[in-house]
Structure 1
Amino acid sequence: MNEPAVLSERVWTIPNILSLLRLAGVPLFLWLLLGPQADLWAAVVLAVSAFTDWADGKIARRYGQTSRLGQLLDPAADRLYILSTLLAFVLRDIVPWWFVALLLIRDLAVGIALLVLRRHGYEALQVNYLGKAATFCLLYGFPLLLLAKAAESTAAVSLPLAYAFIIWGAALYLIAGAHYVRQIAQIVRSAPATAA
């Protein structure tokens, strides 16, 4: 049962449609957060995005609908939600700028390492468990933080949970990024021997 999944070239699969809907929700989320500052509705959009992130992967694996496009869309939607949320949170003074800078530096380092990997003729590595756990924590922590901002009556419960998810998520995000860069460095160092 541990055979590698065969990637399909299909575009119109349920997981891909869910990923496209998640991408389409980013402008709505940003508008809710920065325009009318409707934090509760922004939290709902973010929570729905987190749920569809889980659902598209589950459906893809269960019904054999993994595809090359899905492998691009899913992490792209995750990164876009995380980036847009962080930038909006900084603009609204919900999180400190240094916290966002730390996560952006991580993404920049991984992006440069990925370019080096592609330059050596390799495709991107699969997302590891740490990266998935980090994304899970961040995408569940952000709506809880918005919920605490939107409804003060729930803040006593939602705020500590939000901080716990976000702190753990950020730590795992940095560790996953360092692990990814280390893997790429090992592959690139061994590339000449492999090519020979």
Structure 2
Amino acid sequence: MVPNLISLLRLAGVPVFLWLLLGPKADAWALALLIFSALTDWLDGKLARWLNQMSRLGRLLDPAADRLYILATLIAFLLRDIIPWWVVVPLVLREAVLGVCVLLLRRGGFSPPEVTYIGKGATFVLMYAFPFLLVTQGGSDLAAFARPVGYAFTAWGAVLYVWSGALYVVQTVRALRSPAPTSPV
């Protein structure tokens, strides 16, 4: 299935992206890969719906690729001093809490929390923020333009990301308080 292959390609790009940022510090190539990842994130969902190739694997691969790109970008940007630790910690903590929620739900026989529009929006905004933040490196006119835009998208995306995490916790608590499902998930 084409959409799943695109998601796998995105996943394979994560270590390359990290290497470009942290190894040779090839920011232009890392930026191109980040933009490619964002475009293919949109494309795989569109193709899955258009070709009627939506699958359980695709529903796992797509958010996994999103989360890995977000985590990889946050860690690389922290190590490169592009963003401070106090921006990274709540976003990484949100991912850790969500991971615990998924484990608790599975242990209770439930499916992972439903993806919310706020969660999708948060991912979308952060995926826009990251290229702008990468462009801020340097003293060019483009960097001066990108700086406030990148910071604004980062602040907005971070708030939405943490908010969506809180909503996933609420979903998890509600599910765990309800009767366990009768069929295996």
TM-score by length of 1: 0.88
Structure 2 CA distance for aligned equivalents of residues 174 and 157 of structure 1: 27
**Which residue number corresponds to residue 87 of structure 2?**
99
**Which residue number corresponds to residue 76 of structure 1?**
64
Matched, 1:157 2:145: yes
Select the residue among 73, 80, 91 that pairs with 1:85.
73
Select the residue among 156, 161, 182 that pairs with 1:168.
156
**Which residue number corresponds to residue 184 of structure 1?**
172
Moved more, 137-146 or 148-157: 148-157
For 2:11, the aligned partner's letter is L
Moved more, 96-105 or 128-137: 96-105
**Which residue number corresponds to residue 135 of structure 1?**
123
- What is the deviation of 1:123? 1.2
Structure 2 CA distance for aligned equivalents of residues 72 and 48 of structure 1: 20
Q: Secondary structure at the match of 2:82?
A: coil
- What is the deviation of 1:147? 1.5
Structure 2 CA distance for aligned equivalents of residues 139 and 14 of structure 1: 22
Give structure 2 stretches of 5+ with no counterpart.
Answer: none
For 1:116, the aligned partner's letter is L
**Divergent runs of 4+, >6 A:** none
For 1:130, the aligned partner's letter is I
For 1:14, the aligned partner's letter is V
Give structure 1 stretches of 5+ with no counterpart.
Answer: 1-12
Structure 2 CA distance for aligned equivalents of residues 25 and 113 of structure 1: 27
TM-score by length of 2: 0.93
Structure 2 CA distance for aligned equivalents of residues 58 and 138 of structure 1: 20
Between the two proteins, the alignment pairs up a number of residues equal to 182
For 1:191, the aligned partner's letter is P
Summarize the Cα distance change of 1:86–1:169 in structure 2 as closer, same or farther, 3 Å threshold.
same
How far does the alpha carbon of each residue in 1:136-157 deviate from its partner, in whole angstroms, 9 at most, with x for none? 1111110111122157220222
How far does the alpha carbon of each residue in 1:121-143 deviate from its partner, in whole angstroms, 9 at most, with x for none? 11112311111101111111101
Summarize the Cα distance change of 1:156–1:24 in structure 2 as closer, same or farther, 3 Å threshold.
same
Moved more, 159-168 or 129-138: 159-168
Identity of aligned residues (%): 56
